[in-house]
Amino acid sequence: MVVGESMLVPDLTDSLLSVRAVDRRGGAVVFVGDSSYILSDGEAVLASGVLSNASVVGSVNKSENYVLKVTLVKASEGAASTRMDGEAELWHRRFNHLGFENLKRVVGMVDGIPASVAEAKRVLGTICVQCVDGKMARAQHHRSTTTTTKCKLVHTDVVRPLTEALGGSVYFTTLMEDSTGLITATPIKTKGMVPDVIKARIAQLETLTGLKVKRVRHDGAKEYVSHDLKEWYDNKGITSEKTTPYSSC
C-alpha cells in the first residue's frame, strides 16, 4: 500500500502518520492494547508497539485529521513544540508562545528579560501543548443545509465564569431558537440555576410563538441532565439531545 499526500521534512526527527490518510488509500489502522497495526487488504504491513510512549497530537473528528506520532519521544531539539528550561519557559508564555530562536533575539531588544534566557536549552521529551494546538488547523465547517421550523430545535449553553457582576452573577445561560436565530442570555450566580432558566425561557418562547418546543440540544454537562430537568422534558414531550464533546452545537 502506498500512502500519498506525504511530505519530506529533512530536519524532522520523528515520523508522523495520519490515520485518515491511510483510510483514504484503502488501508486501515487498528489499535489493540498498546500496539497498532496498519492493514492493507486485511494483512498487517506495519506493526508498532510503542503506543505507551507515543504522543498523540490532534483530535478525533470526522472533519479533522487524527495524527499519531508512533516513534519514541527523543531527540526533540528539532521539534518546534518542545518546552524550554528555566526562565525561558516563563518568557515564552509571556510573549504568547514566541518561537525559540525569536525569543533569544528578543533578549537583546527588550529591557528586563534576563540574559540567561538567551542560553536556554530545550527540555527533551516534553511538549508545549499550547504551541501544538496553535499550529493545528481545523478543517472548515460546511454550512448546514438542514432547515427547521419555529420551536423545533433550541440550542443552549452556559458561558464560563466571568468577572462577578453587580448582582453577583458570574455565568450566563444562552438559549437560541434554531430557525430564527433568536437568542436570550440570562445571568446566573451558579450553574444550579440552569434548569430554572431553561424552563422559564422555553415557556416564554412557546408563549411568544404559540408553538411547542420539540428538541433541546446541549453539551451534556451535569446541569443539563439533572433528574428534575429530565422529568420536566418528559412531561413536556421535549427530546434532550447531547452534542459531541468540545464541538459547537
Do residues 235 and 176 share a domain? yes
Give the three cell numbers for residue 201.
425561557
140: nearest Cα among 86, 63, 74 = 63
- Count the neighbouring beta carbons within 10 Å of the beta carbon of residue 30: 11
Q: What would the pLDDT profile of 156-203 be if each residue is shown by its tens digit?
A: 999 888 888 888 999 999 999 999 999 999 999 999 999 999 999 999
Q: Quick one: DSSP state of residue 243?
A: P
**CATH classification of the domain holding 194:** 3.30.420.10
Of 122 and 179, which is predicted with more confidence?
A: 179
Among positive and negative, which fits the CA dihedral 161, 164, 166, 168?
A: positive
Do residues 238 and 157 share a domain? yes
- Inside any domain, residue 4: no
Residue 77's contacts (CB-CB under 8 Å, 6 or more residues apart) are: 13, 122, 124
Final residue before a domain boundary, out of 135, 164, 180: 135
Q: What pLDDT band is residue 73 in, cutting at 50, 70 and 90?
A: very low
Most confident of 10-19, 100-109, 134-143, 152-161: 152-161
pLDDT of residue 70: 40
User: Which residue range is the domain that position 162 belongs to?
Assistant: 153-242
Do residues 228 and 165 share a domain? yes
Q: Quick one: DSSP state of residue 198?
A: H
Do residues 107 and 91 share a domain? yes
Of 204 and 246, which is predicted with more confidence?
A: 204
3-state secondary structure of 145: coil
**What global pTM score does this model have?**
0.47
Mean pLDDT of 77-96: 74
| CA–CA dist 201, 214 (Å, integer) | 14
pLDDT of residue 164: 87
241: nearest Cα among 183, 178, 161 = 178
How many domains does the structure of the chain reveal? 3
pLDDT of residue 48: 52
pLDDT of residue 215: 95
Give the three cell numbers for residue 146.
438542514
- Inside any domain, residue 147: no
Do residues 123 and 160 share a domain? no
Final residue before a domain boundary, out of 46, 69, 92: 69
Of 202 and 142, which is predicted with more confidence?
A: 202
| CA–CA dist 130, 150 (Å, integer) | 41
- Inside any domain, residue 144: no
Residue 75 has pLDDT above 80, yes or no: no
Do residues 117 and 158 share a domain? no
17: nearest Cα among 67, 78, 71 = 67
